[in-house]
Amino acid sequence: MSGELMVRAKPVNAGPNIRKVSHGAITWLDVAEPGLAEMEYLRRTFNFHPLALEDCLSQVQLPKLDNYDDYLFLVMHFPQFRRSSRLTEPAQVSFFVSSDYIITVHSGELQPLLKLFSDCENEEKFRSAVFGHDSGHVLYRILADLVASMFPILSIVIKMVDELEAGIFESASAELLTRKLSITRRDILSYRRIVRPQIGVMELLESTEYPFLKVDPDVYFGDLADSMRRIWVELDDLRDMIEGLSGAHISLTSQQTNQVMRVLTIIATIMLPLTVVTGLYGMNVALPIEESPWAFWVVLGVMVVIAVGMLTFFRLRRWF
């Protein structure tokens, strides 16, 4: 059935969002920005299960692997870093894999996937290397490029954490640091949500042999599962580090606030008796030495003595 279907799988009938590249007995169909027309084409051409086609259009699917009679259906998520929002967001890719074809369905935003398809389309030698074994090897190569693209995004997150660490201990703006800490913590949590369910799918590919995937799953998909686990461990470390930096930032900010409050309290305490003195001599009643030409200087001297005495007392008690 698959061979006959591949003869009919021509782009002219597939709509503008489907591209095809073939080598030997293997064909790769890439469906970017899928719609109902593309799903109907896949249904008529390959007789895929309606629920699997429905999952291709849904952007809220969790990563999963479904094993049908003569093909595999995978839903995977891979991170994309949005520089505008400084947030890592998931991009969904759905795979249909059989012995003689592989179909990818995605939103058209994953550059590693688009580049790999273009290279296979335009470079015969490269296409031969990718398609030269079986469809399982093509699936591995696509997943390997997508997993490899996760590490530069991870490096961006690591750089953000390193910048935060330097900023916290260099007395940078507290408000700016608080905002950056919140954004980075949100990004790490978002990345973790993408990676965690992927590990189970990779481990399932690693541990199960499928008759139409002739690659050694333990060697090929095991390598990808190891990469995902390394990313997860790194994200765990980054989460712990950002929580530690957040705690350190809160501690330093509280210390600075306490220092300011201490100074303000000392000033207010010193001003209190001085305010009493000025209040007394501001009353419209008879007071000692008020008729003396030296009254102002006497009162000023008393205030200075009180202020100096209180400062000396605070200093002796080591309150500042």
pLDDT, position 156? 87
244 burial level (CB within 10 Å; 0-12, 13-18, 19+): exposed
Is residue 229 domain-resident? Answer: yes
Q: Alpha-carbon distance 304 to 320, whole Å? A: 19
pLDDT at position 128: 87
pLDDT of residue 147: 92
pLDDT of residue 217: 63
- Stated as kind and residue range, the H or E segment containing 262 is helix 220-280
Q: Is residue 270 part of a domain?
A: no
Share the mean pLDDT of the chain: 81
Domain count, the chain: 2
Average pLDDT over residues 30-37: 86
Shared domain for 10 and 85, answered yes or no, is yes
Q: Grade residue 96 by pLDDT with cuts at 50, 70 and 90.
A: very high
Residues 286 and 229 in one domain: no
pLDDT at 40: 87
Please provide residue 29's backbone torsions phi and psi, each rounded to the nearest 5 degrees: -105, 130
Q: Of 288 and 245, which is predicted with more confidence?
A: 245
Q: What is the pLDDT of residue 215?
A: 63
Kindly state whether residue 276 falls inside one of the protein's structural domains: no
pTM: 0.74
Residue with the larger pLDDT of the pair 234 and 245: 234
CA distances (Å), origin 194, targets 79, 139, 184, 278: 7, 20, 15, 68
77 has which bridge partners? 92
27 with 147, same domain? yes
- Answer whether residue 129 is part of any domain: yes
b/e burial code for range 271-302 (CB count within 10 A of at least 16 → b): eeeeeeeeeebeeeeeeeeeeeeeeeeebeee
**Which pLDDT tens digit goes with each residue over 183-227?**
888 888 889 888 888 888 888 888 877 776 766 666 778 888 898
Residue 265 resides in a domain: no
- Tell me what pLDDT residue 230 has: 92
**Predicted pLDDT of residue 285:** 66
Does residue 157 fall inside a structural domain?
A: yes
Domain co-membership, 19 together with 78: yes
Q: How would residue 151 be classed by pLDDT, with cut points 50, 70 and 90?
A: very high
Lowest mean pLDDT among 152-156, 171-175, 204-208: 171-175
Residue 29: pLDDT over 60: yes
What domain range includes position 304?
281-320
Residue 14 confidence (pLDDT) above 60? no
The pLDDT value given to residue 185: 87
Q: Is pLDDT larger for residue 84 or for residue 18?
A: 18
Q: Are residues 139 and 286 in the same domain?
A: no
Q: Is the Cα torsion angle 260, 264, 267, 273 positive or negative in sign?
A: negative
In this predicted structure, the answer to whether residue 95 has a pLDDT above a threshold of 90 is: yes
Q: Residue 3 has what pLDDT?
A: 36
Q: What is the pLDDT of residue 1?
A: 36
- 114 with 245, same domain? yes
Any domain includes 259: no
102 shares its domain with 232:
yes
Residue 262 covered by a domain:
no
In this structure, the answer to whether residues 153 and 15 fall within a common structural domain is: yes
Q: Are residues 246 and 285 in the same domain?
A: no
Are residues 205 and 101 part of one domain? yes
**What does the pLDDT look like over 48-76, one tens digit per residue?**
888 888 888 887 668 888 888 888 899 99
Cβ neighbours of residue 277 under 8 Å, at least 6 residues apart?
299, 302, 303, 306
- Indicate the range of 39-43, 165-169, 180-184, 283-287 predicted with least confidence: 283-287
Q: 9-18, 25-34, 76-85, 147-156 — which is least confidently predicted?
A: 9-18
Question: Is 50 exceeded by the pLDDT of residue 8?
Answer: no
* Residue 289 backbone zone (phi > 0: left; psi -120 to 50: alpha; other: beta): left
Q: Is the pLDDT of residue 10 over 70?
A: no
Q: Both 181 and 305 in a single domain?
A: no
CB 206 within 8 A of CB 222: yes
247 plus 301 within the same structural domain: no
CATH code, domain carrying 132: 3.30.460.20
Q: Which of 18-27, 112-121, 163-172 has the lowest mean pLDDT?
A: 163-172
